[in-house]
Amino acid sequence: MRTLEWNPKNNSLTMIDQRRLPEVLEIVSYRTHTDVAQAITDMVVRGAPAIGASAAFGLALAGFESAAQTPRDLFAAYQAAANILKAARPTAVNLAWAVDRILVSALASDLPHADDLRVFVLAQAQKLADEDVEINQRMAAYGAELISDGDTVIHHCNTGALAAVDWGTALGVIRTAWEQGKKIHVLVDETRPRLQGARLTAWELSQYGIPYEIISDNMSGYFMRTGQAQKVFFGADRVAANGDVANKIGTYMLSLAAHDNEIPAYSVVPTSTVDLSLAHGGLIPIEERDPAEVLDIRFQGERVTPLGAKARNPAFDITPNRLITGIVTENGVVYPPFEINLKKVVKQ
């Protein structure tokens, strides 16, 4: 099943509520663009490609919500909805990319009737979602070539089908390598504080039958130092023009340990995640989330932090390009110098 799908029976967007996994597989439904924006903020849906597709369908919902009778008035409603959707999560560039792509197409469509524009925008959102699946599978084919039979791979956060419309990015690579018959093992970073690795990646690997073990984020260096891991794979929420990668917090430390142990570290992203307008990662906005995500963690049913404690909670960090071995895209694997080679694959 897809992580998110349009329901034509009642013009709604259905998606897996990722907050309930692995205990409960719950499907939720949304009828308004503001509810979709809130779902993105609350991480009902997460992962850069999935966020982009959700926002695209959120834009389509705005059209059906609006009472506009002319294409001009309806386009104004789309623009207002776009601003709300873009603000939902600022670090993931796919969100703004998806919304802007549909707005540009809608503006150029020059359709005579508002209802024609509504149908057109929905079709564009569906096209974007379908393309995401095909792009993921192309990335997976390139990335699987980097995994050898017998490898143990460290994976950070969740980058599987749940993080996309279907299949996934970095975890999609691992899944493809497994389906090719390669005997691989995955060490799954818990990915604190929201534990996307322990909750979501482990759940997906269980569905595929791929052997795995969950480790806390601070164990990765040990397994690399002792020769128990051969590759590192993760996704990205935005990649700057020079190859600096913004990804789930903890990626920087993981990449540092990989670099120190001469273990290749790969980021797997669609070219829509590459932001050529930003020269380096220092220009990428970093979302800081509610400290309660850190403070409310419990161990064996008991609170682990003192009452009144304060916390910081950046959701992402920047991994400098010097720590990245290669960036896997749907147009091939990009190697340094990233400043030159990323432009080439994006233009393809």
Q: Which residues are catalytic?
A: 237
Q: Where are the alpha helices (DSSP H) in the chain?
A: 33-41, 48-65, 71-86, 93-109, 114-144, 170-179, 196, 202-208, 220-225, 251-260, 292-295, 338-347
Q: DSSP characters for 137-164?
A: HHHHHHHHTTPPTT-EEEE-S--BGGGS
Q: How many CB atoms lie within 10 A of CB 204?
A: 24
Distance of CA 4 to the CA centre of its chain: 13
Q: Are strands 274-275 and 238-240 parallel, antiparallel or unpaired?
A: parallel
Decide: helix, strand or coil at residue 44: coil
Closest-CA residue to 214 (of 227, 232, 200)? 200
Name the DSSP class of 55: H
**CB–CB of 153/174 below 8 Å?**
yes
Q: How many CB atoms lie within 10 A of CB 20?
A: 14
